[in-house]
Amino acid sequence: MAGKQTKQPDVGAGLGGLGEALSGFVGSQVERLAEKAGDKLTDVTDQLTDVADNGGSLLKVGSRILGGESPVKAFLSEKAKGIKDSVVDKAKEAFGGGKGKSGSSGKSMNIIEVLDVGVPLRTAYDYWTQYEEFSSFTKGVHGVSKSDEMTSDWKVKVGPSSRSFKATVQEQIPDDRIVWTSEGAKGSTKGAVSFHELAPTLTRIVLVVEYFPSGFFEKTGNLWRAQGRRMRLDFKHFQRYVTLTEEEPEGWRGEIRDGEVVMSHEEALEEEEEEEAAQDEDAENDDEYEAADDEDGNTEDEEEDVDEDEWEDEADEDREE
């Protein structure tokens, strides 16, 4: 009995079997989490990030188990980073990103809004061209500075962060429509706003924007339509501001076509003054013409009255004879 050797358990074989079983279990959980990433992406990522802070690899799982840790706890600690990366990659593919794709090629979001404001057409249009005033009545715009007649620099709020982008007007027809594009480090847009007179003191404004998010945070916000909600609320703030403000706006009256300024603000004002002067002159000529017609009419009436009096006198004389 003393010479009989006791067989030691094969720890390596047992550990390998445990690792394979746990790998299969975790793999199935990764697929399940990836499918739900579109709904609970932020929570999952935050939780996995907290776990992944401990680092590690699969080769260290055995030493953790032999050190007294729970097999599940040890394995999840070592595989947390891989799980998180898998979930994030799945989510990026859902957002239109992923490997081999640029951020600008991601899925776009279309925003279409229609509002009626109780002011004349020109007033509504002029208010819209005052970009520098947007930060005073909206919550999403922090500041706007115009570089020239076509370009302006915007600082906006996207969730808890601030973003900057440069906007370029491609077409601008006074009292009709404005078409623009914008580029920024975290996204780009194509937009158009048009103005339609419903009554002398009622104007309809139609806003159409196509937003292309770039970057993980922007694409995550795009999933929940955060940018669309922010733009919709600020559009209503514009409606309130325009309707309740009593000051007459000093809008930009220039004209832009095909990305080029074809008429400056000053030239447009001069043209309007010339048109007003021509209209006033026409009105004066019309008044003079009507006055002349009235005078000619009065003269003819007087002559007719004289003729009638003479005819009556002659008739009376004939009767007396």
Domain-wise residue ranges, the chain:
13-95, 103-266
Q: What is the pLDDT of residue 49?
A: 42
Q: Is 133 exposed, middle or buried (0-12, 13-18, 19+ CB in 10 A)?
A: middle
Largest separation between any pair of C-alpha atoms in the chain: 182
- Local confidence band at 278 (pLDDT 50, 70, 90 cut-offs): confident
What per-residue confidence (pLDDT) applies to 128? 96
Q: Which residues of 282-311 are buried (b: 16+ CB within 10 A; e: fewer)?
A: eeeeeeeeeeeeeeeeeeeeeeeeeeeeee
- Give burial (CB, 10 Å; 0-12/13-18/19+) of 102: exposed
Superfamily covering domain 103-266: START domain (3.30.530.20)
pLDDT of residue 315: 65
Query: What contacts 71, CB < 8 A, 6 or more positions away?
Result: 18, 22, 61, 65
Lowest mean pLDDT among 128-142, 263-277, 298-312: 298-312
Query: Which is more confidently placed, 205 or 108?
Result: 205
Residue 169 has pLDDT above 60, yes or no: yes
Distance from C-alpha of 216 to C-alpha of 82, rounded to nearest angstrom: 18
Structure confidence at residue 248 (pLDDT): 87
- d(C-alpha 8, C-alpha 191), whole Å: 74
CA end-to-end span of the chain: 182
177-184 and 187-199: which strand pairing? antiparallel
Which 3 state secondary structure label does DSSP give 222? helix
Q: 6 or 114, which is more confident?
A: 114
Is 33 a residue whose pLDDT tops 50?
A: yes
- How many whole angstroms separate alpha carbon 321 and alpha carbon 45? 125
Phi then psi for residue 277, to 5 deg, are -65, -40
